[in-house]
Chain A
């Protein structure tokens, strides 16, 4: 594994943003870009799975509540494919059951929408500290 230099965006592993809400995707891409994280956005879990090559590094920033395949479904599917991407979960409302299920997948962190950007930055730094 090549060491990456966070200050060099071309070498920085990307954030895969999966959210069905276009406004949120766009803003996240702009913000993450501004703090030096390259971003790829996907409008659905299926779109992400179709384009993702199993060995790419990065971090998944995924919305829980999406039509069709939910964020939880996507995380379970990644596990089934033996893909170990770090995951940050965004959620509108989280009930206890989903929280329990999620916790078994050991995500990097939760963001309850609308979350403070400060919380997002803390999680991004946590991810960066792993490489």
Chain B
């Protein structure tokens, strides 16, 4: 923020140096024509060549550089008002001073414009009272020529500065839009992923008992055939056949549900792992700051690219990093460090996310990645399961450990691009 504000002062500083250097020309022309005394010349030179640097120093040395700059601008106006009086109201230079200063203030709001006009008028009145200048508005040819640079060059410089700041604002807005876009995409993938994962998890859980029912019914049919002569067997057989058919039908429904919720095709592109890591960290910047998490990124320059779906990889990173932040969010956690490391592992790139939270119950083992398994009070238990599906869809693998003494480490491996 401070740097951004200082950027504004730096811009004003440049314009002020230019404006003063050119503004001193008509003043000097008038002073020369009137045969002014040494103090007036001194004042003009100090105003033109010392004041801009003083103003810049003032803006930089204050914590609120924005406020300091407004004071500088008011002083500019006052100085302009003073020169109008000291130039004996010479018409062209006076009008130039008024119009240039007014133009400069337009971007600062109506209230500020009024204040700076008052400063100008006040300084003009004060200088009139103290120095008793004559009233000689006629402008001669030399003074007109001396006014030309300020008339022509200064408006151009101002327009350039304005278009530059407009471009900066546009770039900033675009960056913000891209971040919002990424967030939307990730949210969508998370929603679709959650649905798919729920469907797949349910399907797996339901398929097992359904398969058992179907097989058991058929076993009973086989075993019963030996006693087929017994009265009532036909009814029993019919009943068992119905159990067999209906369990198969239920299985068919589950299968359809799973196909329906299956994820859409993934993009495959060659990408370096660094940009997604930085993008995701930017996305989670708020949480990282909120819990004062110290983040270390260790991605060697010679890390190979991977062939992957960028959004899917970001989703995996978001889930792992968010888990890490959540694990460290408890007040009891004294040190909050997040380490994201990339390394080569045979034909794969391994990315690990390490936190300094309370760690993982070693008894959990594989259950960590099972759907509907959660250690969080409000967790659905799908985060890691989704990560696993996404990573495995890339032909990679996901895992936990080896854990640090205090904390947890999760990693995923993706095949390195050839």
By the criterion CB–CB under 8 Å, are B215 and A113 in contact?
Answer: no
Complex CA–CA separation, A35 to B220 (angstroms) = 11
By the criterion CB–CB under 8 Å, are A35 and B222 in contact?
Answer: yes
- The yes or no answer to A107 lying at the interface (CB within 8 A) is no
Instruction: Closest A residue to B389 by CB, please name it.
Output: A95
Instruction: Closest B residue to A67 by CB, please name it.
Output: B366
- The yes or no answer to A122 lying at the interface (CB within 8 A) is no
- The yes or no answer to B209 lying at the interface (CB within 8 A) is yes
The interface residues of chain B lying within 8 Å CB-to-CB of A30 are: 215-216, 219, 223
By the criterion CB–CB under 8 Å, are B366 and A68 in contact?
Answer: yes
Complex CA–CA separation, A34 to B222 (angstroms) = 6
By the criterion CB–CB under 8 Å, are B211 and A24 in contact?
Answer: yes
- The yes or no answer to A112 lying at the interface (CB within 8 A) is yes
- The yes or no answer to B244 lying at the interface (CB within 8 A) is yes
CB within 8 Å for A31 and B212 given contacts A92-B203, A114-B251: no
Most interface-central of B215, B219, B258 (chain A CB within 10 A): B215
By the criterion CB–CB under 8 Å, are A24 and B203 in contact?
Answer: no
Cβ-neighbour of A114 out of B211, B258, B395 (below 8 A): B211
- The yes or no answer to A128 lying at the interface (CB within 8 A) is no
By the criterion CB–CB under 8 Å, are A112 and B212 in contact?
Answer: no
A residues 80-131 near B (Cβ < 8 Å) are 90, 92-93, 95, 97, 112-117, 120
By the criterion CB–CB under 8 Å, are B210 and A114 in contact?
Answer: yes
- Distance (whole angstroms) from the CB of B383 to the closest CB of chain A: 19
CB within 8 Å for A93 and B258 given contacts A35-B222, A114-B210: yes
- The yes or no answer to B248 lying at the interface (CB within 8 A) is yes
- The yes or no answer to A27 lying at the interface (CB within 8 A) is yes
The interface residues of chain A lying within 8 Å CB-to-CB of B211 are: 21, 24, 27, 90, 113-115
The interface residues of chain B lying within 8 Å CB-to-CB of A115 are: 211, 214
- The yes or no answer to B207 lying at the interface (CB within 8 A) is yes
Cβ-neighbour of B216 out of A21, A27, A92, A97 (below 8 A): A27
The interface residues of chain A lying within 8 Å CB-to-CB of B366 are: 67-68
- The yes or no answer to A76 lying at the interface (CB within 8 A) is no
The interface residues of chain A lying within 8 Å CB-to-CB of B230 are: none
- Distance (whole angstroms) from the CB of A102 to the closest CB of chain B: 15
- The yes or no answer to A74 lying at the interface (CB within 8 A) is no
Chain B interface main SS type? helix
Complex CA–CA separation, A92 to B202 (angstroms) = 11
The interface residues of chain A lying within 8 Å CB-to-CB of B365 are: 67
Complex CA–CA separation, A30 to B219 (angstroms) = 6
By the criterion CB–CB under 8 Å, are A116 and B214 in contact?
Answer: yes
- The yes or no answer to A79 lying at the interface (CB within 8 A) is no
By the criterion CB–CB under 8 Å, are B207 and A92 in contact?
Answer: yes
Q: Interface code B180-217, partner A: CB below 8 Å = 1, 0 otherwise?
A: 00000000000000000000100110011111111110
CB within 8 Å for A23 and B244 given contacts A93-B204, A93-B258: no
Complex CA–CA separation, A80 to B183 (angstroms) = 46
B residues 204-256 near A (Cβ < 8 Å) are 204, 207-216, 218-219, 222-223, 244, 247-248, 250-251, 255
By the criterion CB–CB under 8 Å, are A24 and B212 in contact?
Answer: yes
Complex CA–CA separation, A39 to B218 (angstroms) = 16
Complex CA–CA separation, A117 to B405 (angstroms) = 51
The interface residues of chain B lying within 8 Å CB-to-CB of A21 are: 208, 211-212
- Distance (whole angstroms) from the CB of B128 to the closest CB of chain A: 89
CB within 8 Å for A117 and B212 given contacts A68-B366, A97-B395: no
Q: List 20 A-B contacts (CB under 8 A).
A: A21-B208, A24-B212, A24-B215, A27-B215, A30-B215, A31-B219, A33-B219, A35-B222, A67-B370, A68-B366, A92-B207, A92-B208, A93-B204, A93-B258, A114-B211, A114-B248, A114-B251, A115-B211, A115-B214, A117-B244
Question: Which A residues fall within an 8 A CB radius of B?
Answer: 21, 23-24, 26-28, 30-31, 33-35, 65, 67-68, 90, 92-93, 95, 97, 112-117, 120
Q: A27-B213, A30-B216 are in contact. List 6 more A-B contacts (CB 8 A).
A: A21-B212, A31-B216, A34-B219, A67-B370, A113-B207, A117-B214
Q: Which 4 A-B pairs have the closest CB atoms?
A: A34-B222, A114-B251, A23-B212, A31-B219
Question: Which B residues fall within an 8 A CB radius of A?
Answer: 200, 203-204, 207-216, 218-219, 222-223, 244, 247-248, 250-251, 255, 258, 365-367, 370, 393, 395
